[in-house]
Amino acid sequence: MPTKDEEAMTLAEKHYQIEAGLTQIFRITGSAEVELRPLEPIKLLEVNENTVPSGIMPIQFGPSPASGLYYPSIILEVTPDEFQRIQNQELKLPNGWKVGDLIPRPSTEQGQ
């Protein structure tokens, strides 16, 4: 079974692979205490130039061990402009979440 960090990387790589408009994917992190909980979802902030603006509305998925996804996950998709507003703190993430590390696009994808 992968760690939560490993699964977050795998999920992000697959998203990059099938989404032409995805420019960046970041981890979202809660407090250290919350993130240590085994069932705390993987949280990804996806910057997508093909999506429409609608503010901060995360959606959650359950785990699917049979398909290799062992943890619940939350996806928050934003436009590049919304991402800038998050960076400027004009838009707030809920639950005290912070924008975490960038998960870069895999090198094999960069030429596509």
Q: Which residues of the shown chain bind other proteins in the complex (CB under 8 A)?
A: 11, 14-15, 17-21, 50-52, 54, 57-62, 64, 67, 69, 74-75, 77, 94-95
CA–CA–CA angle 56, 62, 65 (5° rounding): 140
Please report how close the Cβ of residue 102 comes to other proteins at its closest, in angstroms.
19
Please report how close the Cβ of residue 2 comes to other proteins at its closest, in angstroms.
14
Instruction: Return left, alpha or beta for 89; rule: phi > 0 is left, psi -120 to 50 is alpha, else beta.
Output: left
Please report how close the Cβ of residue 67 comes to other proteins at its closest, in angstroms.
4
Q: Are 110 and 104 in contact (CB under 8 A)?
A: no
